[in-house]
Amino acid sequence: MTVTHEASRATRAGGPARRPQNKRPSRRAAETRAGYAFLAPWLLGFIALTAGPMIASLYLAFTDYHPIRGGEWIGTENFTRLFDDPRFLDSVQVTLTYAIVGTPIKLAAALGVAMLLNNRKRGKGTYRSLFYAPSLIGASVSIAIVWKAMFNDQGIIDDIGDYFGTWNGGWVGDPGRTMPMMILLAVWQFGAPMVIFLAGLKQIPNELYEAAQVDGAGPMRRFTRITLPMLSPVLFFNLVLETINSFQVFASAFIISGGRGGPANSTLFYTLYLYQRGFGQGGQLGYAAAMAWLLVIAVGIITLIFFRTSRYWVHYSGEGR
Amino acid sequence: MSIRKTATRGLTLALVGSLALTACGSDGDGGDDGKVTLNFTWWGGAERSERYEAAIDLFEQENPDIEVQTSFGEFQDYWTQRSTDATSAELPDVIQMDASRLLEYANNGLLYDMSEFTDGGALDVSQIDEELIASGEVNEQLVAIPTGTNTLALLYNPDLLAELGVEIPDWDYTWDEYHDFLAEVTAAGADMDPPVYGATDYTMVWWFFMQHLVQQGIEPFSENGEMNFDEEDMRTFISSTDELREPEDLTFPAERTEQLLPKGGFTSGEAAVEFHWDNFLHGYSADLGTENMQLMPVPSGADGQKHMFFKPTMQLSMGANTDHPEEAAQLIDFLINSPEAGEIIGTDLGVPSSQGRLDALNVEEGSLDARVMEYEQRVRDEGHATATVPVQPEGFGALETEYVEVLAQEFGFRQIDTDEFVERWFGEAPNLLVTY
């Protein structure tokens, strides 16, 4: 890590400023070579650990591969089987609900906190770190365990509920309340989009607000007419990123449900079901590979839709429109 | 600093780093002190682990040149891990094996043929009943050694029953009487906080479906993996507890089970009885925190007979990829034959298969060990064990998982009914079962 950093600094510092014109033309070639040399470990890793397995899994998707028995080519049978599989449909529904409900809430929370922080003058750094902290630890195994304990029967949330005479019996065991619990866990980790929003908010020129205020625009109007349009590129970026992330949620669901996707398939996220098929349930790796590729295609299409529609609502300043 | 210098330095660093990592990696196998390291893995809870660890400490004392690295997991996760091990030819040297997975591993050449050690070699199996040994033979290779036997039982909590004022049925009870008993317990426990139930729905347990078929005189599977039961058989079995689910649901609620994980209703003191393998008495009594737990046989079938069977349990196998077969055989020999190890492990793995071990086992009157052994003895003496354990074809374990983990969950939450359960199980079965 440090080495790479130093190198990039060296490139920047010793770049255009120091490079004498027309002298030692081989210098560029040497830099290119050095560039590739630095790239090599990543490139090797990418080919061996990402591209290779992806190609292999594409092949597996058309076989009935089993980790112990091996497998044979079965054409598109895995894909046709998928659409008759009630648990597959359950998992799609769970994941879509999570993405469609969870992502906007998470982004709204991130934006809200970012705006509050943006107005503060003192102690901004401290608050920013504090609000970011859950995102650092949120993806970890321990937080999922803590989360489960909190929402369990006689956990703290249940106790609070008892106090108000509601929510008896904990959330973990109730299929109707596990999804809100999972979404809360995701929303709580709003740190990453928040920091990006904060950076975006700083880019909005203050004159716009001042001018609007002079013209008599209230806070709501300033938000909808200035903040949102000016922030739309950042919003777009966060939206794409968070949507893709929410399609890939695995660890928290795995831990909270003990890898089973329960109760009653209510936390059977797509990736969790994929894992169950591939490694539990008789090791149907071919079937799991087919699921993985379907996910790639689905996420690709959704991202494409975002990009296609973005021109109607994403406003890039400086784009003389 | 020039780019070239930085680059060279960086690459050198990376190289040194990776060399250092490689050096670390090779440490696991032997090392410089001449010690052989064996990997040993099993499934089970904390109770079993303490016993195994204590036995292994003893083994390491007796064999100072062997180090045993242990790991364990919960049954379903355990097999997930083993299948990943198998894919990368990294199965542990010694593996706790289950008959439901044995053929899958043996037929694919993943297990070491231990016969070379049994002819007067490191592994002495002379104390084990020949029929039991035969259960570990696949394709004329000895790939698994059963450490003991177990049989199905009704475990019950006498303290709780006394509190509720409900009496446990006699040994010759029928399934109908069992249902009445469950209803009685649930009614008596309704006012308790939290409410106490009779038991979970046993039709959601795969092995009780097997037991049910055997009581009907149906041998569930043939040697070649063929299924000898049909949709109707499964539907009849699951419907047999309809009276416990409707009009009022008297079975232990799935929601509550989910909240109590990793314990169950029975081990939390919220259900009075539970069907399971008899050797679970140890883990269950540790979970419940009382030694006062008793065993009963399963109810009798329509002909008044129980048709129970003894299952070879907790087999020990060696990964075919082991680098230290000799030492691995030594460890297995120790675990099945050493009286000291037997003393520690007791009947947690089932009643010991080795006669020498059984004789040496100094069970205290009234202890859990004594209870399991007396139970099995009485089941034998009274002639309840008239059936042989069902054939477990390749894929049997996956069929069980589909039944108890996937469908039973949805059924427990009443998301699917009996017909859907049956239809989906039979829809999935061809993908899981291997026939020859």
The structural domains of chain B, with segments of one domain joined by +, span 36-148+312-373, 152-310+385-432
Mean pLDDT of A28-39: 90
By percentage, how much of chain A surpasses pLDDT 70? 87
User: Is the CB of B412 less than 8 angstroms away from the CB of A172?
Assistant: no
Closest approach of A49 to chain B, Cα-based (Å):
15
Tell me: do A192 and A307 sit in the same domain: yes
Question: Do residues A138 and A230 share a domain?
Answer: yes
Name residue, tokens 């065993």: B295
| pLDDT value of position A321 | 42
Q: Which pLDDT score, from 0 to 100, does residue B344 have?
A: 82
Amino acid at B360: A
Encoded tokens for A200: 């975006």
Distance CA A192, CA A188 (A): 11
Q: How close B432 comes to chain A (CA, Å)? A: 6
Whether A162 and chain B come into contact, CB under 8 Å, resolves to no
pLDDT tens column, A84-124: 888 999 999 999 999 999 999 999 999 998 988 887 677 77
Give the nearest chain B residue to A278 (CA atoms).
B80
Chain A residues in contact with B395 (beta carbon < 8 A): 282
Out of B105, B256, B409, the one facing A173 most closely (by C-beta) is B256
Mean pLDDT value across residues A224-243: 91
Q: What ipTM describes this predicted complex?
A: 0.78
Per the CB < 8 A criterion, the answer to whether A258 and B261 are in contact is yes
Domain B152-310+385-432: homologous superfamily in CATH:
Periplasmic binding protein-like II (3.40.190.10)
At B14 the pLDDT is 52
Our count of domains for chain A comes to 2
The last residue of a domain, from among A60, A92, A110: A60
| pLDDT tens per residue across span A180-191 | 888 988 888 888
Question: A118 in a domain, yes or no?
Answer: yes
**pLDDT higher at A204 or A169:** A204
List chain A residues with CB under 8 Å of B262: 258
User: B36-148+312-373 and B152-310+385-432: same fold?
Assistant: yes
Q: How far is A253 from chain B (nearest CA, A)?
A: 14
Q: What is the mean pLDDT of residues B386-393?
A: 87
Residues A56 and A132 in one domain: no
Residues A170 and A308 in one domain: yes
Domain membership of residue A253 (yes or no) is yes
Find the closest chain B residue to A86 by CA distance.
Answer: B424
Chain-chain contact of B259 with A170 (C-beta, under 8 angstroms) = yes
CATH number of the domain where residue A201 is located = 1.10.3720.10
Mean pLDDT of chain B: 85
Parallel, antiparallel or unpaired: strands B36-43 and B94-97: parallel
Which chain A residues have a beta carbon less than 8 Å from that of B409?
260, 262-265
Which residue from A31, A264, A281 is facing B402, i.e. has the nearest CB?
A281
Domain assignment present for residue A67? The answer is no
* A6 located within any domain: yes
A110 and A245 both lie in a single domain? yes
pLDDT band at B249 (very low <50, low <70, confident <90, very high): confident
User: Is the pLDDT at B278 greater than 70, yes or no?
Assistant: yes
Q: Tell if the CB–CB gap between A265 and B415 is shorter than 8 Å.
A: yes
H or E element in which residue A6 lies: helix A2-13
**Cβ count near B251 (within 10 Å):** 21
> Confidence band (pLDDT; 50, 70, 90) for B21?
very low
Listed residue (B41, B78, B44, B99) closest to B284, CA to CA: B44
Residue with tokens 């994941």: A95
Cβ of B7 and A86 within 8 Å? no
Q: Are residues A284 and A135 part of one domain?
A: yes
| Residue A250 and residue A215 share a domain | yes
Whether the upstream peptide bond of residue B262 has omega within 30° of 0, thus cis, is: yes
Q: Are residues A248 and A219 in the same domain?
A: yes
pLDDT, tens only, A281-307 = 668 889 999 999 999 999 999 999 999
Give B33's pLDDT tier (boundaries 50, 70, 90): low
Interface contacts (A, B; CB < 8 Å): 107
Give the contacts of B416 (CB within 8 A, at least 6 positions apart): B407, B410, B424
Which of B76, B401, B413 shows the shortest C-beta gap to A263? B413
Is A318 within the bounds of a domain? no
Q: Please check whether residues A29 and A149 belong to one and the same domain.
A: no
More confident residue, B1 or A180: A180
> pLDDT at residue B9 above 70?
no
Please name the member of A31, A67, A282 whose beta carbon is closest to the beta carbon of B432: A282
Kindly list the residues from chain B whose CB atom is less than 8 angstroms away from the CB atom of residue A14: 3
Whether A173 sits inside 8 A of B413 (CB atoms) is no
Q: In terms of pLDDT, which residue wins out, A169 or B37?
A: B37
pLDDT greater than 60 at residue B1: no
pLDDT tens track for B167-182:
899 998 999 999 999 9
A39 shares its domain with A106: no
pLDDT at B26 over 50: no
Chain A, 166 to 195: residues with Cβ < 8 Å from chain B are 169-170, 172-175
Residue A222 lies in a domain: yes
Judging by DSSP bridges, how do beta strands B145-150 and B311-318 pair with one another?
A: antiparallel
**Interface contact flag, A67 B409, Cβ < 8 Å:** no
- Fold exhibited by the domain B36-148+312-373: D-Maltodextrin-Binding Protein; domain 2 (3.40.190)
pTM for the complete prediction? 0.81
Residue A214 lies in domain: 79-313
- Residue A157 sits in the same domain as residue A230: yes
Do A193 and A165 lie in one domain? The reply is yes
- Is A263 in CB contact (< 8 Å) with chain B? yes
Distance of CA A228 to the CA centre of its chain: 22
What's the confidence (pLDDT) of residue B369? 83
Distance from CA of A240 to the nearest CA of B (A): 33
- Is residue A71 one of the residues assigned to a domain? no
Q: Is residue A295 part of a domain?
A: yes
Phi-psi region of A65 (alpha: psi -120 to 50; beta: other; left: phi over 0): beta
- CA B375, B377, B383, B386 dihedral sign is positive
| Mean pLDDT on B303-322 | 89
Task: Say whether residue A89 is in contact with chain B using an 8 A CB cutoff.
Answer: no
Would you say residue B102 has pLDDT above 80? yes
**β-bridge mates for residue B150, sequence order:** B311
What is the structure's pLDDT at A62? Answer: 95
Cα–Cα distances (Å) from B394 to A89, B98, B154, B436, in that order, read: 28, 12, 28, 10
- Which pLDDT belongs to residue B4? 53
The type of residue at A110 is A
> A15 CB near a chain B CB, below 8 Å?
no
Under an 8 A CB cutoff, do A67 and B86 touch? yes
Task: Write out pLDDT tens, residues A236-281.
Answer: 999 999 999 999 888 888 888 877 887 888 889 999 999 988 887 6
Q: Which residues of B touch A169 (CB under 8 A)?
A: 255, 259
For residue B84, list chain A residues with Cβ-Cβ distance below 8 A. 67, 279
